[in-house]
Structure 1
Amino acid sequence: MTTAGGLLVLTPPPGRPSRPGKAPGPYRRLLAAPGARAFTAGNLIARLPMGMFGVSAVIMISGAYGSYALAGAVTATGLAATALVAPWTARLVDRHGQARVAVPATAVAALGSLALLLCVHHHAPAWTLFAAYAATATTPNTGGMSRARWAHMHRGDPAALHAANAFEQAVDELCFMLGPVLAAFLCSALFPEAGTLVGAILLFTGVVLFAAQRSTEPPVAPRTTKGSPLRAPGMPALLAVFGATGAVFGAMEVVTIAYADGPVAGPVLALQAAGSCAAGLVFGRARRTAGLRTCLAAMALLMPMPLLGAGTGSLLAVACGLLVAGMATAPTMVTAMATVQRITPRGQLNEGMTLAVTAILGGIAVGSATGGWTVERWGPAYGYVLPAAAAALALALSVLVPAGPWPEKAAGKTARA
C-alpha cells in the first residue's frame, strides 16, 4: 500500500504478483469477432437438415415401399447428383458471391425435397423418387461457405484457422448428432414425411439468414485462368481419401438404421457424431496437430468397434462401438480440410472445399447403396464390415498424398531465402 498524489494505492505484497484475468479460449475468441455469431447461427440452422435428410428419406421410403435397398439407392442417387452439381454451384459462389447464388440454389433444393415428400406420400412410381431427390443437388455447401468466411477473417493466422476448422467440424458433427435424432422423432411421432418437411424449411430459413450477413461475406474473387483446383498438386489423391471416408459414413448410417430398426435408430446413430464432436473440440484446443496419415490410422483402428459390438448381438454394445469409432473422424476431417485449404488457390476456396465435400458425398452414395444391398442379403450385423473396410482403404490411399510441404509452400520459403 503506497500513496501517490494524496491517493491511496493498493499494491500486491512482495513475491505475490497480481494475476491477470484468464485469457479467453480459442472458440470464444473466434465468436467474439464482429459478425461471427450472426453468420454462425444462420449456418447452424442451415446445416442441421444435413443430418436429417438421409435418415428421413430412408425411414420414409422404406416404410412406404418396404425396401431398404430402394431407400439406399434413392439417397445414393441424390448424393451422386449433388456430387456432380455442387462444384458448379461453388464456382458460381466464388464468381458472384455467396448471397447472390446460395439463396436461389437452396430454393430449388427445397422444392426437390418437397417433391420427394409428395411422391412418397402418394406412393408414386419408384423412378419419381430418384428424379425428385436428384433435384436437391443444388443445395449449396453451407459448411464450405462458413469456412471460407473464417479463412477470409483470419487469413495469416494459422492458429485461429486451426481453431476455426475444428469448430466447423464440431458444428458438422453436432448437426449429424442432432439431425438423426430429430428426424427419427418427427417421422415416428408425427408422420413419416415430417422429417423431410421440417428439414426443407430449416434449410431455406438458415441459408436466408446466413446470406443476410453481408459484413463477413468474402469478396468476390476475380476470374482466374488457373483452371480447376483439381490440378493442384496432391488434390486428386486427397479427394480419393475423402471418397473412401465418405463410404464409411454412408455405410454406417444405412446399416445402423437397419440394425436398430425403430425410433431408437436416430439416437444410436447420433452417438458416432457425439464422439466425433467431442474429439473435434479437444483437437481444436490442442497446440499441436497430427498428420493426416496418423489420423487415418486411428480411424482404421477404431472403425471396427461397431462390428465387434454387433458380434455380441447387443444394441448397447453397437452404440458404444459407434461412440468410440466416432472419436477418430473429426480430427481426420479437420486435418484433411486444412490440407485442402492449404493447396487451393485463394480465389477458388469455395470450389476447392466443395470438391472435397463432393468426394465425401460420392463416397457416401457408394456406402449407402452398398450398405442397403448388404443388409438385405446378409443382415445388418455383417453390414458393419463395410465401414471398417472403407476406413482401411482410406488409410491405404493416403500413401498417395504427398507428405512433405506443398510445392507452393516450398517455393515461398525459397523466395524468402
Structure 2
Amino acid sequence: MLSSYRQIFASPGTLAFSTTGFVSRLPISMTGIGIVTMLSQLRGSYGVAGLVSACLAVSAAILGPQVSRLVDRHGQRRIIVPAMALTIVAVTGLLLCARLEAPDWTLFVFAAGMGVMPSTGAMVRARWAHLYREDTGKLHTAYSFEAVVDEVCFIVGPILSIGLATSVFPEAGVLLAGIFLAVGVLLFAGQRSTEPPVHPAARQEGGSVILNRGLQTLILTFVATGAIFGSVEVVTVAYAEAQGHKSISSVILALWALGSCLAGVVFGTLKLTGSMAVRFLVGVLFMAVSMVPLLLVAHAVHGIGGLVVVGAALLVAGIAISPTLITAMALVERLVPAAQLTEGMTWTTTGLALGVAAGSSAGGWVIDASGAAAGYWVPLAAGLLGVVAALAGLGRLRAGLTAEAGAGTAAEGAGRTVDAER
C-alpha cells in the first residue's frame, strides 16, 4: 500500500509543495470557528459571531473562484502572494476591531476582505495534475493523498483554533491562522520548479468555467454534500449535549473523519475501472444511505450507549466521504480545460462551503424546533437531494467525459499527422 504513495513523491519537489500546501490550507479550517470562538468571548454574542463567520463564508464563495481564475491566467506565484497579503491585512483589521471594541459593522467589513484567501488546496491538485496528467494511476493516488490531507486539516485546525482561543487569549486562533497562511503561502510560492505553466488559452479565455454543465452538476451535488457535513456536526454536538456528554461530541466527529481518512488511504491504492460518473453517483448514494442509521439510533437509543452507536455509525458513514471527493476532483480534471483547472476545483470547494453553512443553519433550526434527535433528518434530506442532483446530472457528466476523450483522441491524431509530415 505504501509503495503507491512513495511513487507519487518520487518526482522532485512533490513533497515540498504538498507539505507547504498543507500549512497554507490549515487556515481554511481555522478561521470560521476561530471567529465564532473569539467574538463569542469578546462580544458575548453567538449571534454576531455567527453572522460575521457567515459573512466570511459568503465572501469566500464569491471572491475565491475569481482569485483562482486569476491564478489560471497569470500563474500561482504572481497571484497567491498578493492575495495572501490582502487577507493578512483583513485579518489584522478584524483582530484589532474585535479587541478595541469597534462597531460591529467593522467586523463584517474585514471578514468580507478575508474572502480573497487563496485556495491552496486547488493549486496543490493543479500541480499534481500537471505532473501526472498522463499517468492516471499516480494522479488517482495523489488526489487520494490530498483528500486525506484535507481531512487532517479539518481535524487539527478547529482543535488548534478553539483550544488557543479558550486557553490563551480569544484572538489566538485567528492569529495563528494568519501566521500559517503567511508562512505557508510564501513557502508554497517558493516552489517554482513544480508550478504549472500558464496555458496560452488561459490568457485568452473570456468566460468562466462555471458555464461547464458537468461542473454545474458537481457543484450542485457538493452543496448538498456540504449540507450533510454542516448539519451532522451541529446535530451531533446537540445530541451529545442532550445525552449529558457534550465533551464526547468531538471524539464522535473525529471517528467520522477517521473513517474518511482510512477510506481515502485505501482508495488511493486501488486500480479502478469503469465509469467515473457512475462511481461518483454510487458514492453520493452511499453517503445518503449512511445517514439512515444515525436517525434511527438517535430516536431509539439514549445515554452513553446511544453516543457509542452514533460514533460507530459515523465511522462507517465516513467511508463514503474521501472516495466520493476524490472521484469528484478527478472528474473536474477531466471535464475542465487544463487552462481553467484551478478555478474549476475552487468552484467545487465553494459549493461545499456554501452547503456547510446552509446545513449547519438548517440543523440548528430543526434542533430548536423539534430536538436534537430530529436534527438528523437534515443530513438525510441533504443526502437525498445530493442523489437527485447527481442522478439528474449523470448524463452531463458522461457527455463531458465523452467529449474530453474525443478531444484527446483528436489531439493524438493531429500529433501523429504532424509526425508523419515531418
- More deviation in 118-127 or 187-196? 118-127
- More deviation in 320-329 or 275-284? 320-329
Task: Measure how far apart 1:242 and its partner are.
Answer: 1.3
Give the Cα–Cα distance (whole angstroms) in 1 for the partners of residues 82 and 309 of structure 2: 44
Task: Measure how far apart 1:107 and its partner are.
Answer: 2.0
Q: 1:228 aligns with which of 208, 215, 224?
A: 208
Task: Measure how far apart 1:305 and its partner are.
Answer: 4.4
- Match of 1:271? 255
Give the Cα–Cα distance (whole angstroms) in 2 for the partners of residues 371 and 147 of structure 1: 32
- Is residue 380 of structure 2 the alignment partner of residue 394 of structure 1? no
On the 8 A contact 1:238/1:398 being kept in 2, the answer is yes
1:30-77 CA distance string (max 9 Å, x none): 112100111111111112222222322232333444554444333222
- More deviation in 233-242 or 320-329? 320-329
- Is residue 175 of structure 2 the alignment partner of residue 197 of structure 1? yes
- Match of 1:284? 268
1:282-302 CA distance string (max 9 Å, x none): 111112267111101110111
The verdict on how the C-alpha distance between 1:24 and 1:397 changes in structure 2, with shifts beyond 3 A counting, is: closer
- Match of 2:404? 409
Task: Measure how far apart 1:374 and its partner are.
Answer: 4.0
- More deviation in 300-309 or 164-173? 300-309
Root-mean-square deviation over aligned CA pairs: 2.6
Q: Secondary structure at the match of 2:118?
A: coil
- Structure 2-normalised TM-score? 0.85
- Match of 2:325? 333
Q: Secondary structure at the match of 1:285?
A: coil
Q: Secondary structure at the match of 2:198?
A: coil
- Match of 1:14? none
Give the Cα–Cα distance (whole angstroms) in 1 for the partners of residues 253 and 111 of structure 2: 22
- Match of 1:53? 31
Q: How many pairs are equivalent?
A: 395
Give the Cα–Cα distance (whole angstroms) in 2 for the partners of residues 313 and 69 of structure 1: 30
Q: 2:83 aligns with which of 75, 82, 105?
A: 105
1:340-398 CA distance string (max 9 Å, x none): 11000111111111111121122222223333444444454433332222122111111
- Is residue 353 of structure 2 the alignment partner of residue 369 of structure 1? no
Give the Cα–Cα distance (whole angstroms) in 1 for the partners of residues 100 and 253 of structure 2: 29
- Structure 1-normalised TM-score? 0.86
Give the Cα–Cα distance (whole angstroms) in 2 for the partners of residues 117 and 305 of structure 1: 42
Give the Cα–Cα distance (whole angstroms) in 2 for the partners of residues 231 and 114 of structure 1: 36
On the 8 A contact 2:72/2:340 being kept in 1, the answer is yes
On the 8 A contact 1:180/1:270 being kept in 2, the answer is no
- Match of 2:336? 344
Give the Cα–Cα distance (whole angstroms) in 2 for the partners of residues 150 and 376 of structure 1: 44
Give the Cα–Cα distance (whole angstroms) in 2 for the partners of residues 304 and 134 of structure 1: 37
Task: Measure how far apart 1:238 and its partner are.
Answer: 1.9
Q: 1:78 aligns with which of 56, 61, 67?
A: 56
Give the Cα–Cα distance (whole angstroms) in 1 for the partners of residues 296 and 129 of structure 2: 40
The verdict on how the C-alpha distance between 1:108 and 1:225 changes in structure 2, with shifts beyond 3 A counting, is: closer
- Is residue 294 of structure 2 the alignment partner of residue 294 of structure 1? no
Task: Measure how far apart 1:200 and its partner are.
Answer: 1.3
The verdict on how the C-alpha distance between 1:191 and 1:376 changes in structure 2, with shifts beyond 3 A counting, is: farther
- More deviation in 192-201 or 268-277? 268-277
The verdict on how the C-alpha distance between 1:61 and 1:376 changes in structure 2, with shifts beyond 3 A counting, is: farther
What one-letter code is carried by the residue in structure 2 that aligns with 1:411? Answer: G
Structure 2 unaligned runs (5+)? 414-422
Structure 1 unaligned runs (5+)? 1-22
Task: Measure how far apart 1:78 and its partner are.
Answer: 1.2
What is the percent sequence identity of the aligned residues?
Answer: 45
On the 8 A contact 2:30/2:157 being kept in 1, the answer is yes
Task: Measure how far apart 1:110 and its partner are.
Answer: 2.7
Please state which structure has a larger fraction of its residues in helix. 2
On the 8 A contact 1:26/1:163 being kept in 2, the answer is yes
- More deviation in 201-210 or 56-65? 56-65
- Match of 1:12? none
What one-letter code is carried by the residue in structure 2 that aligns with 1:404? Answer: R
Q: 1:250 aligns with which of 218, 227, 230?
A: 230
> What aligned pairs does 1:118-137 form with structure 2 within 5 A after superposition?
118-137=96-115
Q: 1:90 aligns with which of 64, 68, 82?
A: 68
> What aligned pairs does 1:9-28 form with structure 2 within 5 A after superposition?
25-28=3-6
Q: Secondary structure at the match of 1:230?
A: helix
Give the Cα–Cα distance (whole angstroms) in 2 for the partners of residues 408 and 388 of structure 1: 34
The verdict on how the C-alpha distance between 1:41 and 1:27 changes in structure 2, with shifts beyond 3 A counting, is: same
